[in-house]
Amino acid sequence: MTATVAPAKHERSAVDATVDDASLVARVADGDRGAFEVLYKRHHTPLFRTALALTRDRGTAEELLQEAFLRAYRHMGRVELAPDASLRPWLHRILINLTYDWSARQKTAAGSFDRVVERLSPSPGLTPEGRAEQREIQRVVADAIAELPFKQRAVVVLFYLHDMDLHEIAATLNVPPGTVKSRLYYGRARLRKRLEADSRLPASAVMRYVSA
């Protein structure tokens, strides 16, 4: 009879993709790399979208994403996750902190806020000409979002891109809900002022993007 051998520490093991995050975290802390790969596959797409919306550069977003998961792996043993709770807020916090540090070193950024801008003001049923005009308007709005202070920009991205409510954003950023509400309010106010000053944007579009 052949004996069953338990996976050695740091060895990959077969992991059921339906296992909850808390169980996976415990297995990663015990050195199970297979469990970490499941966590990566489960959470990397929404985190990448956040990084892309904040940096507006795919290469930078990918680098920050990889660094965030590397740090998460190194510190997984410190995580205490309740059963059925998601690891994503903690991962998001690491990513946003890294992106904040990156942003502080940058003077400009390039890329696309398309997904965030579309969530701010969806425009279904447009003609081809209308879609072209809408894309130009979205570029103007994306530029305005990029000029927001980073902390306001992060709240706008989490609110519109991930449909997070104030309490979810507060938990992700580890700040009080009132702080999130204030950042969202002042972020919208800055957007309104910036968009109203841009002659390329009609007044109706300004109200559409900042009245949500």
Region class of 10: left (phi > 0), else alpha (psi between -120 and 50), else beta: left
pLDDT of residue 5: 37
**What residue type is 13 in one-letter code?**
S
124 and 196 belong to one structural domain: yes
138: which DSSP letter?
H
Final residue of a structural domain among 104, 128, 151: 104
60 and 146 belong to one structural domain: no
pLDDT band at 17 (very low <50, low <70, confident <90, very high): confident
133 and 79 belong to one structural domain: no
Final residue of a structural domain among 35, 69, 104: 104
pTM above 0.75, yes or no: no
Beta strand ranges found along the chain (DSSP E): none
Give which of 18, 112, 106, 24 is closest to 72, Cα–Cα.
24
**15 found inside a domain:** no
pLDDT band at 196 (very low <50, low <70, confident <90, very high): confident
In terms of C-beta density within 10 A (0-12 exposed, 13-18 middle, 19 or more buried), how is residue 7 classed? middle
Number of domains in the chain: 2
Q: For residue range 133-143, what is the model confidence (pLDDT) as tens digits? A: 667 777 777 88
In terms of C-beta density within 10 A (0-12 exposed, 13-18 middle, 19 or more buried), how is residue 40 classed? middle
Burial 154-168 (b: 16+ CB within 10 A, else e): bbbbbbbbbebebeb
pLDDT band at 191 (very low <50, low <70, confident <90, very high): confident
Interatomic CA distance for residues 139 and 145, integer angstroms: 10
Interatomic CA distance for residues 129 and 15, integer angstroms: 50
140 and 164 belong to one structural domain: yes
Give which of 19, 37, 41, 16 is closest to 28, Cα–Cα.
37
Look-up of token digits 């993007």: 209
Q: Is the pLDDT of residue 36 over 80?
A: yes
Phi, psi of 151 (to 5 degrees): -65, -35
Q: For residue range 108-131, what is the model confidence (pLDDT) as tens digits? A: 444 445 566 665 655 555 565 666
Q: Which residue has the higher pLDDT, 72 or 192?
A: 72
Q: Which residue has the higher pLDDT, 8 or 77?
A: 77
Range(s) of the domain holding residue 73: 21-104
76 and 132 belong to one structural domain: no
137: which DSSP letter?
H
Interatomic CA distance for residues 38 and 153, integer angstroms: 30
Give which of 73, 76, 65, 146 is closest to 98, Cα–Cα.
65
pLDDT of residue 110: 41
- Is the Cβ–Cβ distance between 201 and 195 less than 8 Å? yes
